[in-house]
Amino acid sequence: MNPFDQAQTMLQEIQEANLSSSESAEEFRIKFIGSKGSLKSLFAAIKDIPNERKKEFGQLVNQIKQEAEAKITAAKKNASGANKNKASDNDLTAPGVPYEMGTRHPLSLVKNEMIEIFKRLGFVVEDGPEIEDDWHNFTALNLPENHPARDMQDTFYIDYEANKLLRTHTSSAQIRVMEKQKPPIRIITPGRVYRNETISARAHCTFHQVEGLYIDKDVSFADLKQTLYYFAKEMFNSDNIRMRPSYFPFTEPSAEIDISCFICDSKGCAVCKHSGWVEIGGCGMVDPAVLTNAGIDPEEYSGFAFGMGIERVAMLKYGINDIRLFFENDKRFLEQFS
């Protein structure tokens, strides 16, 4: 078959081709205009065409190429339109897939509630760094170097030589406020603290505190007791708390705050160590040495301080018997507080 007849036969085949899908269009492209397609042989035959007919043959070959490309473009366009029509077959009136709503962590809920209670008493929220120095975390709080009470803190040191450590309580933030602000001072310092303790159902190496400080003229232990009674009533709807004499280097006199165990209704459980009472914090009158270290005259001013663990309060409020649940990020646990 001469090149002209071959070209006419190919043009007729292209014009009669039925490209009903993207797959058939791809097969068509490979057959005719692919790198090894039929059209390539026609371009190669141009050199054998007599000179007087080369122009005619070249125009015919170009027509074949253009019609083949147009056929492929039309087939792809039709296939794309079919896919769009298929997508539009979806039922637009069907309900959508609901998004899962997040919930606030129970510790955040309790912390915010504690802050609101103390705000109603005139306390202002203050903050401080979690990476502290020895002065603000220990020495200014009446724990000088080699003081045995430092052993109670189980401290995580970042750089022992530079006296950089993870704060063991938020009392360090109170020192910073006292250094820059003159009395009266009425603040709470919520935040995360760190202690090198064995993790168990009752204790963790990282936990949260809300500490309070009130310094003014003629502040007494009676003011401290009424503040804590008010908090217990607002948080737990109960004022069944007790104060046991204790020792803290930065307060004198000092006491530990216990509240009746709601988890076992004071009958005895692992959380309350079968005593019916759960310790939620410590308190006392600010030691005069601490006031002096912060630049406040203890002859003119007095004050009280208290500190409570947010985890302990949350465990009592929600009846949770294992502190580790707060740190495991189990959705089944967290969704209960939505």
pLDDT in tens, 301-317: 999 999 999 998 998 88
Residue 117, pLDDT score: 96
With a CB cutoff of 8 Å and minimum separation 6, the contacts of 333 are 325
With a CB cutoff of 8 Å and minimum separation 6, the contacts of 145 are 134, 139
Mean pLDDT, residues 297-301: 95
**How many CB atoms are located within 10 Å of the residue 91 CB?**
6
Residue 89 binned pLDDT confidence (cut-offs 50, 70, 90): low
* pTM for this entry: 0.67
Residue 103 binned pLDDT confidence (cut-offs 50, 70, 90): confident
User: In DSSP terms, which residues pair with 125 in a beta bridge?
Assistant: 188
pLDDT in tens, 117-162: 999 999 999 999 999 999 999 999 998 787 766 766 688 888 878 8
Residue 119, pLDDT score: 96
pLDDT in tens, 234-278: 998 877 888 999 999 899 999 999 888 877 877 888 777 888 888
Lowest model confidence (mean pLDDT) among 148-157, 197-206, 225-234: 148-157
**How many CB atoms are located within 10 Å of the residue 245 CB?**
9
DSSP one-letter code for 141: G
* Radius of gyration of the chain, Cα coordinates, nearest whole angstrom: 40
CA geometry: angle 222, 226, 232, nearest 5 deg: 145
Mean pLDDT, residues 193-197: 89
Lowest model confidence (mean pLDDT) among 102-116, 186-200, 226-240, 263-277: 263-277
Residue 129, pLDDT score: 94
Residue 253, pLDDT score: 94
Residue 81 binned pLDDT confidence (cut-offs 50, 70, 90): low
Residue 8 binned pLDDT confidence (cut-offs 50, 70, 90): confident
Helices (H), 139-188: 171-180
Q: Where are the domains of the chain?
A: 3-87, 109-337
Residue 82 binned pLDDT confidence (cut-offs 50, 70, 90): low
Mean pLDDT, residues 168-172: 93
Topology annotation, domain 109-337: BirA Bifunctional Protein; domain 2 (3.30.930)
**Is residue 146 classed as helix, strand or coil in its secondary structure?**
coil
With a CB cutoff of 8 Å and minimum separation 6, the contacts of 219 are 285, 301, 302, 303, 304
